[in-house]
Amino acid sequence: MKFNDTIMGAALLALSLAILQAVMQYPVIPGQNIGPGAFPGLLAVLLAVCAVLLIIKGLKSRPHVAWLEIGGWVKSWLHLRNFLITIAGLLFYIYLSDRLGFLICATLLIGVMMWALEVRTKLIVPIAVITTLVIHFIFYKGLRVPLPWGILSPVQW
């Protein structure tokens, strides 16, 4: 599926404006010229500039390019199934990660996605578990991002 550059530019411009509006609400740190919204604000301004350039490019090519082109993958059951599995997996993680925990949700999610991609069955569980543990270690220990423990909260390490 391919959208005209005008449509994508407008969507990115709306995103950049939403980011700018959000970072304006960030508190000012006394005694500092640069606050917590400086870097996200700078990125949002750069995104807005790129979005405007994309809109201009799309408007110039408008007579020759359709607003939306449906790709061949939409007609393929395999591609459509994998797309739906990805969306369902994201929703699964969003709604159940606090209850079940990152380790369980990520392992199940990676396992199902590997099954959908037809990875050899005997490799799915070990790869899903190892990948989940590596991701958990990087985020939890390295970056100090608190991931949800869910039902495994009594065994935190």
pLDDT tens, the chain, 157 aa long: 677 889 999 999 999 999 999 999 988 888 887 888 889 999 999 999 999 999 999 888 766 767 777 777 778 889 889 999 999 999 999 999 999 999 999 999 999 999 999 999 999 999 999 999 999 999 988 888 889 999 988 876 6
Q: Which long-range contacts (CB under 8 A, 24 or more apart) does 57-62 make?
A: 57/5, 57/9, 58/4, 58/5, 58/6, 58/7, 58/8, 58/9, 59/6, 61/4, 61/5, 62/4, 62/6
pLDDT at 88: 97
Distance, in Å, from the CA atom of 49 to the CA atom of 30, rounded to the nearest integer, reads 30
pLDDT at 109: 97
pLDDT at 154: 80
Q: φ, ψ for residue 21 (rounded to 5)? A: -65, -40
Any idea of the CA torsion for 105, 110, 111, 114, to the nearest 10 degrees?
160
pLDDT at 134: 97
